[in-house]
Structure formats: C-alpha cells, structure tokens
Chains A and B, each alone.
Chain A
C-alpha cells in the first residue's frame, strides 16, 4: 500500500520537475536528406562539429531523437552527418542544437568490451555508466609535452622485434595487399601484450562483422580481452560511423594515457576510413581532388596519427602506440592514401603476397620495412644479435640469384647462402604464437653464431622448439637473466655457448 503511494508521489514530483516554462530555442528545419547527410536551414549559431539532434517523435519507437554532427557551415544552411538510422528523417523535421561537441563516454569499465563508435555497447552486456566524456576530435599534444620513445613494444614476432623494433608512442604502419596477414600481425601483437602493462584498443573500420566476431573470439581465447577494448564500425553501418570510429578509439586511448598508462591502438584499416570520408565529403558536395578524395584527406589522417605520442614524465608519462593498417591494391604503395600515411607514420611493415604464398609467414619484406625511431627503444640484448641478422639477410639477398648454381660456388659464398636460408627459416612464425623476448634473443644468437649451420633446413622449426624446452628445463637462469637485465653479459654469453654445445650433443 505504502509502496503504491510512494510511486505515485514520486511520479508526480518528477513530472513537476520538468520545466514547463519554455525558453526560446534555436531550431532548424531539414531541407534535404539523403545517404547519411542532411541539409538543414536555421541554426545560425551552431559550432563546427557540434552535436545536433533530429526530433523523430513518433509514438511507436522509444527513441525521440537521432543524433548528427554539423560538418558544413554555410551562409543559409548547414550540412549534417547523421549518426544513426537516416531513413527515419523526413524533410521538414525539426533539428535542435545540443551545444556539445561530439564526445564519447570513457571509463575503466570500457576494457574488455565491444563498443560502437559512440561508446555504446554492442556485446549485449549492460551500458557503461560514467560521467566522463572525452571529445572525439582533439588537438594532439605539443612539443613541450612530448618525449622521444624509450620503451619497447614487444610484438612477440621475431622478424619485427629484431629488425623493425617498435617503441611506445611510435606509429608503425602495417601495409600490404589483401590476404597477406596484416590483421594477424596486429592481433598477435595485442595477444603478446599480456602482462606487459599495456591497454589495447582494436578499432575495426568498415570490416565484415563476421571477421570482427572471429577476432573477438580469438582475443578471448588467448585471454587478451582482459586488457582490450574493441570498437566496431561495421560494414553495414552508415559511413559516418566508419568516419568517427578511429577518433573515438583515440579518445578512449587518451583517457587511459592521461592516467599515465601505455596504450596500444590498432586502426584496421585506414583505407576504408578514407573511403568513408570520401563518401561523406562528396555527398556534402565538397570538391573532389585526386582519386576523388577531398582536399583535406591528408589532414584527416595526420591529425589522427599525431595524437599517438609518448608524453614527458612531467605530463604523466603515458603513451599511445598506434598500428594503422593500410590495404594496397596489387602492391601499389604509390597510390594516394598509402603514400600519405607512409609519410605520416614513423615507419612501415611491408607485407607481400609473393612471400606469403612461398610460405614465408609473416610475409614481411625486410628490405622495404623500416622503423624510424624504434631502435632507440630496443633492448640491448636484441640490438646485439639483430645487427648481425640484418647483415646476413642483406648478403643473402645479394647472392640469392646465384643460389641455383649450387656446386659451382666457392665455399664462402655457399656458406652465406646456407646461412641466409636458415635465417629466413628461423624468422618464420605461426599465427597466435608470439614469442617472449628472451627466447627470441637466444634463437637469434644461435643462428647468427652459426650453431644452426649444420641443422637441415626442414628440421629447423623442430630444433627451435626443442631448444626452448631444453633451455627452460636445464638453463632457466639464462632466460631469466636476459629477461630481467635486457642484456647478454659476458658471463651469460659463455654459459649460453656452453648450453648450445651441450644441446648439440643431445
């Protein structure tokens, strides 16, 4: 009885609280709508990229509003990008300004979730409750707030950690044709961040929903969802979602970075992001330029990737490391978008389909892949073995053409070719099998110091496997020492050599 009265009283109070004294409000009217863009008259005081809402008040749906963002501010009308179901908007609908710049809710609880670019969950779990909002567009930190990279990101991939090292705060592009394992590298890197004090964000832009579901399952399987947020703008959603998804992901990353944490963010992929922006720009009737992209397509990506930084300790010392992905068409890296993004990033990992089909996986082209800043952050032990590795590979590439002459070659050349073949064999690695840094160091040490020269090529992966097991059981101290100090001291080098000799006898 009491309960009933309480409900009624409370409802009455709530109704009274609703402000019936209506103030004047600026309201616009939809002139034209189509393909995710609306042209609206009125709203003369609106800000650029301010959120607006369309009033779609029919009694059937539970939603009163559809949100949008003002992109084009013109003399008599504005162009609005609609974030949602634009088919429900009609000519003559009322549009209100909200006075807020587009922002997304951020929280610790976002970790482990699958979200859409507006920060709403799409994994069927409860809504994320928070009162913190971060704007989607933000100017990147300036010179004073930055620091050069000095800590490594361990991808767990031998070829990358040894020759193309990535530092925290770096932007390393992953570029290649379709089906060359671009996403695989990014996912392996995320899986390897377990226990590395890193929060990961995977942004899927215009991807097939089935692919995203598969990735989320893999991440769960390897325990990576404990520190990962997935942001999805699916292929079935409007282009506006694909357009804002990477910015939304970065806003979430900035929230964690502001707490002094290290964040790894993967944009998969920026080609589709550029397509989405091209579509929006053309419908807004902005003039098309090269490949029909609008004039500010470079700024689109540069302002996004500039937000990946390593902050100075005085500003919290957090970092955002980004791995943007670009898909090329038939290996053409000189197309418009690939050249743009290559010039913005601090290096690229170039994947080739020829190598992929030859069985070299990851299909990394070592000659064309570079990391412009990461070597400053590489661990010393790795630096020591990697220098020799590079040299071996470079010499092998030079001599590769002679390899078919077989027996006609002199002893030294033959040896270099054999070493090269083994180097390539060792750098092969399965998917979902990231390797700890200490194991990488010992295998590369064995390789560059000739301990593998007598092992037949088809037995190398077996040898590798057994060697890790042998070290883990018999010489745990070597691995632990490398892991802790990040160096190979002369004492350790001696015992490693001893262990290798012992292992050869086994």
Chain B
C-alpha cells in the first residue's frame, strides 16, 4: 500500500515546475487525509526516496569510520563509487563509529556493504583460529 502512495507521489512530481509541484503536493496531502493515511507519511517518504533514487540513478551511501573523514577522502570515495556504480549522483552521509577499531566500512543503498574495518578482519581471524 505504502509503495503505491509513494509511486503516486513520484508521478505527481516527475518533471514538473516548482509551482506545479506545490499545487500537486497540496492535492496529495488532501488525498492522504481523505484516505486516512497521514499517519503513514514517514514510511511513504522513505519509499519515495527509494523510488526517486532508483529512477534518477542516485545512490545512497553511508560511510563509517573511527575518525571524522576529511573532505578530500570523502571526494575520493564518492568518485570511486560513482565509477563503480555508474551513478549520476551520490547521497553521502559519513558517521563516526569507534567500534570499527580502524579502517572503513561503506554501506550502499542500505544493503550492500564493503567492510574494510579492523573489527571485521579480527573477527575473520578469530573464526579461522577457533575452527
């Protein structure tokens, strides 16, 4: 259900001028209100983001590291990912996560993970030794 509302939202705003979008959004909100779906707006927005990113070739990237990344590093990573995924744009969020113990972990579209952290390597080592 949520998916269909998100799809409607996408169709209403696709290739439209700002004024049109404003007008359509108002209609959409009234439509949601009429169908008593305003309480599900969070999920609809989440789904809409997904659809929008997919259609426009944008990827959602989260980077985890033990220390704050410098701009240069962030740019390098985005360029690498842009090439790898042939994406137009990259939506990048970087987070500090001391549990990684070092290295870096990249999460793409909330699903694919490239884990080059020390924590992961230690875990693999532990696996190897205990087995």
Inter-chain contact A28/B111, CB cutoff 8 Å: yes
A44 to B110, CA, bound (A): 11
Q: How large is the interface on B (under 10, 10 to 19, 20 to 34, 35 or more residues)?
A: 20 to 34
Q: Residue on A with the closest CB to B117?
A: A22
Taking CB atoms, residues of chain A closer than 8 Å to B111 are: 26-28, 42-44
Q: Which among A15, A20, A27, A55 is the interface contact of B123 at CB below 8 angstroms?
A: A55
Q: Is the interface of A mostly helix, strand, loop or mixed?
A: loop
Q: Residue on A with the closest CB to B124?
A: A18
A24 to B112, CA, bound (A): 6
Q: Does B77 contact A (CB under 8 A)?
A: no
Q: Which among B113, B114, B123 is the interface contact of A57 at CB below 8 angstroms?
A: B123
Q: Does B71 contact A (CB under 8 A)?
A: no
Q: Does B120 contact A (CB under 8 A)?
A: yes
Given A41-B110, A42-B111, answer yes or no on A22-B116 (Cβ-Cβ < 8 Å): yes
Taking CB atoms, residues of chain B closer than 8 Å to A94 are: 113
Q: Which among B112, B126, B130 is the interface contact of A26 at CB below 8 angstroms?
A: B112
Q: Does B119 contact A (CB under 8 A)?
A: yes
Taking CB atoms, residues of chain A closer than 8 Å to B119 are: 57
Q: Which among A20, A22, A43, A64 is the interface contact of B114 at CB below 8 angstroms?
A: A22
A29 to B123, CA, bound (A): 18
A473 to B39, CA, bound (A): 88
CB distance from B79 to the nearest CB of A (A): 17
Q: Residue on A with the closest CB to B115?
A: A22
Inter-chain contact A18/B113, CB cutoff 8 Å: no
Contact mask A4-32 → B, CB, 8 Å, 1/0?
00000000001101111011111111000
Q: Which among B3, B107, B128 is the interface contact of A75 at CB below 8 angstroms?
A: B3
Q: Does A62 contact B (CB under 8 A)?
A: yes
Inter-chain contact A26/B125, CB cutoff 8 Å: no
A29 to B113, CA, bound (A): 11
Taking CB atoms, residues of chain A closer than 8 Å to B127 are: 64
CB distance from B115 to the nearest CB of A (A): 6
Q: Which among B115, B126, B128 is the interface contact of A25 at CB below 8 angstroms?
A: B115
Q: Does B33 contact A (CB under 8 A)?
A: no
Q: Does B40 contact A (CB under 8 A)?
A: no
Q: Which among A15, A22, A42, A44 is the interface contact of B125 at CB below 8 angstroms?
A: A15
Given A62-B130, A75-B3, answer yes or no on A18-B125 (Cβ-Cβ < 8 Å): yes
Q: Residue on A with the closest CB to B43?
A: A76
Given A41-B110, A75-B3, answer yes or no on A22-B120 (Cβ-Cβ < 8 Å): yes
CB distance from A45 to the nearest CB of B (A): 9
Q: Does B94 contact A (CB under 8 A)?
A: no
CB distance from B123 to the nearest CB of A (A): 5
Taking CB atoms, residues of chain A closer than 8 Å to B120 are: 22
Inter-chain contact B128/A14, CB cutoff 8 Å: yes
- Nearest 6 CB-CB pairs, A to B? A27-B113, A42-B111, A24-B112, A22-B116, A18-B124, A25-B113
Chain B residues with CB under 8 Å of chain A are: 3, 107, 110-116, 119-121, 123-130
